[in-house]
Structures are given as C-alpha cells and as structure tokens.
Amino acid sequence: MNLFNANARRCGAALVACTLAASGAHAETLVSMWVHAGPGPERDVYIASVRAFNEASPDIKIKLLTLPEGKYNDQVNAAALANKLPCILDFDGPNVYNYAWSKKIVPLDDLPVGKTAKAEMLPTLVRQGTYNGKLYSVGQYDSSLALWGNAKTLTAAGVRIPTGVDDAWTLAEFEDALKRLKAAGVAYPLDMKFNYGIGEWVSYGFSPLLQSFGGDLIDRKTYRSAKGVLNGPEAVKALTTLQSWVKQGYVNPATKNDGDFAQGKSAISWVGHWAYNDYRKALGDDLVLIPMPKFGARAVTGAGSWNFGISKSCETLPAASKVLEHLMSKAEILKVTAVNGAVPATRAAQAESPNYGPGGPLRLAIEQANKGVSRVRPETPAYPVISAAFVEAVNNIVGGGSVQKELDKAVRKIDQDIEDNNGYPVL
C-alpha cells in the first residue's frame, strides 16, 4: 500500500481532521492545502482530486488537511497569527475582504489561475473574490437561496406554485400560503433552518429578506455606516415580518431537527441548494423548487460560497496556481457540485451539469442569477463584525425582542468597529 492510500484510510476513520500527505520521493515542490470538509462525500471528492493531481504531476505534490467546518475559521485565524497558514486554503466567501485587507492572502491577478478565472468564472464569484480591484479568490461553485416546496401539500391547501422569477409570490401571497397551510394542519408551514444555529446561515439566509424589503446590512455606497440602512424603516418592517411569522406559529425557531420539511412537519423550506439531494430522496416527484418571493419591490437571493485563496506565506506561487487550475477545471467542478448540489462556477460546467443545465431540476438558480436576483454579501473587511451583529439581532428579535432596539444596537456595533479601524483603509 502506498503512502497516499494509507493516509486515505486513516482519514476515513477520523472525525476531527485528516491529513493527506503527498507520495513520491522525487517530488520537487510540496503545496500544503486546507479545506473545510468533515466526513462525507465532499471530503471524498477532495481526497480523490488530490490523488488524481499527485499521480499525474511529477513535480508538484499536494499535502491536504481536511477540517470540519464548525471551528474552521478559528483555526485559520490562529494559524495566521502563528504565521503557519498553508499555501492554499478555502474560506467562506465574505471573509475574503478581511483576509485580503489584513494581508493573509495574496492577489491572484498575475497568476495563470487568476487570469483564467476572470474570463471563465461566474460574475458573482468574480465579484465575491475581488477586493480593492484585485482578485483574491476563486471558487468551484456558487450558491443559491430559494424555497423548496411539497407540491402535494401545497396543492391540497389551494396554494399557487410559482414556476419562475417573473411569477414569484408577493408578500401577501406568501403569507396567504402560510395561513392556508397552517389551517390545513401543517404544524409549522415554513422551515427556516433555525436548527443550523446562530452563525453565518442567519446572515446568508435572512439578509435577502431584509434586502427584498429595501434594507441592507450596510450602506454599500460608502461601506462606512449601517445607520439608516440596517435600522431604517424598511429593515424594521422586514424583521417585524419575520417576528410575526414566529408569533403566528408559521415557523418553529426552536426546531432541532433538520428533517422537518422531509418529514412533512413543514411544507415550505427556506434553504439553499445543499438540501436538494436529501429532499429529493424524501419527497421524490413531490419536491418543487420555488423562487424567492418579492417581499418588496424585488426578489433577492444569496450568492457566493466557499472559495480558495493563496496565503501570504506561500513560497511556491506557481505551483499553488497549478493546483488551483486543477481544482477549477470543468471535471473537478462537476465532481464536487455533483455531491454538494451547488451551482457550478463556470458556464461550461453549468452546461454539462445534470442539475443546472437546460431542463435540470435546479435550473431556477440560473434564472435567478441571470435576472439579477442574486446578491453577494457586503464587500468590506468589516463583514465579520457586520455578520455577528446582524446574527445577534435576529436571534433576539426571533426571541421576542424589540425590532428597532435590536437593529439600533447592531448598527452601533458595526459603526463602532468601522470607526475603530479608521474606515478600514487599504493597507
């Protein structure tokens, strides 16, 4: 058994982290790489991808470390402080701005992978990866937020099922659907994945509600303040609406079960692409994908996802670029999106995707993106603080707190952080 296979077997048994070391005594360049991936098919894809690269490359070998998502960001920050980051690491999309501002990662523009990515990667991913006019990250996949519905239950309750962005539900129609489902005996008509806990899901999943009403997490013209945007009348209306859904029993904020929708306790699930495989197994042909509603003037869906960058401490930039070129190839993009259900990062990969190609069951995500519904999270180094403040506010509001007071408090935290960092000037 070679070293790669031995390590792969050990990784299969590890639940916290696994290390995949490169094989081959004659390797000239070693590229260390971290990915967030606990036990499961996505990690298996990355292990196989590294194996394929290592077997095909005589001069470059990848040393892979896979880590569970829960504490991943903390481990990245700790490694950065200790100057022990790997050459290549992945990170959640909105963290790119803080990592770039604090010089944890380097621009990719002058590397082959950066030049190719700008030409081939989806516009939302190019935008997500860009800070101060430079590209700092590339991603194998984008994300999409929508509603999953149980067609059988919705039809029985007399609820119209939208088929595309142009006929999406209005706020009135959406709330009428919730009312009808509740009257029909559905325990909690809307599953909003509160079982995910208090973290980035809240910002990714619920800021589109805020934005559809006309609010936002920060003033995107200047990125200097959240005042009047996160705590203005539109934002207050959005979060008051969310609070009302909880009060009326449409949503269960205390759910601990990720299977409420699959088990019929809910008939609409507010979640992203990653739920597709499990939902399809549970509901079969009764599963239907529904566009995000137009709560205000326009519908909004989340965009952006985990992506790869190269750390400042990497001394083998050309080799790291070749590794990223491998990961960004059409074949590797299709492999990872086949198991995580995400939107392929390039048009070429989308065209060959069974899920997202023409007639595919997730094609609606492409329609939402093409019609300008997708919105990336705020492109500012202040984002970690913005997200944390918003998450805390939503948690307290869902628990019955004053909407205005909680949003005012969030604004103070965000604006104070921006002031403390002198507006996050380019360093």
Asked if the model's pLDDT at residue 6 lies above 70, the reply is no
**How high is the pLDDT of residue 30?**
96
SS3 268: strand
Model pLDDT for residues 36-58, shown as the tens digit of each residue: 987 788 999 999 999 999 999 99
**How high is the pLDDT of residue 22?**
40
Asked if the model's pLDDT at residue 1 lies above 60, the reply is no
Model pLDDT for residues 126-135, shown as the tens digit of each residue: 999 999 999 9
Calculate mean pLDDT across residues 227-232.
98
| CA distances for 144 relative to 83, 234, 344, 364, angstroms | 34, 23, 11, 9
Model pLDDT for residues 251-283, shown as the tens digit of each residue: 999 998 889 999 999 999 999 999 998 999 999
Q: Which residues fall within 8 angstroms of residue 127, CB to CB, at 6 or more apart?
A: 376, 379
| CA distances for 293 relative to 142, 162, 167, 213, 300, angstroms | 20, 9, 9, 11, 8
3-state helix, strand, coil in the chain (%, to 5): 45, 15, 40
| b/e sequence 160-176, b meaning 16+ C-beta within 10 Å | eebeebeebbebebbbe
Side-chain-side CA neighbours of residue 33 (13 Å):
32
pLDDT above 70 as % of the chain: 94
Cβ distance 64 to 47 under 8 Å? yes
- Considering the chain, what is the average pLDDT of its residues? 91
In whole angstroms, give the CA distance from residue 159 to residue 355. Answer: 26
**How high is the pLDDT of residue 3?**
32
**Quick one: which of 134, 67, 144 has its CA closest to 97?**
134
Residue ranges of alpha helices (H) inside 255-340 are 276-283, 317-327, 330-340
Q: What tokens appear for 62 in the block?
A: 């990848």
Lowest-confidence segment of 23-37, 63-77, 374-388 by average pLDDT: 23-37
**How high is the pLDDT of residue 413?**
98
Widest Cα–Cα separation across the chain:
69
**How high is the pLDDT of residue 214?**
97
Model pLDDT for residues 299-358, shown as the tens digit of each residue: 999 999 999 999 999 999 999 999 999 999 999 999 999 998 899 999 999 999 999 999
**How high is the pLDDT of residue 254?**
94
**How high is the pLDDT of residue 370?**
87
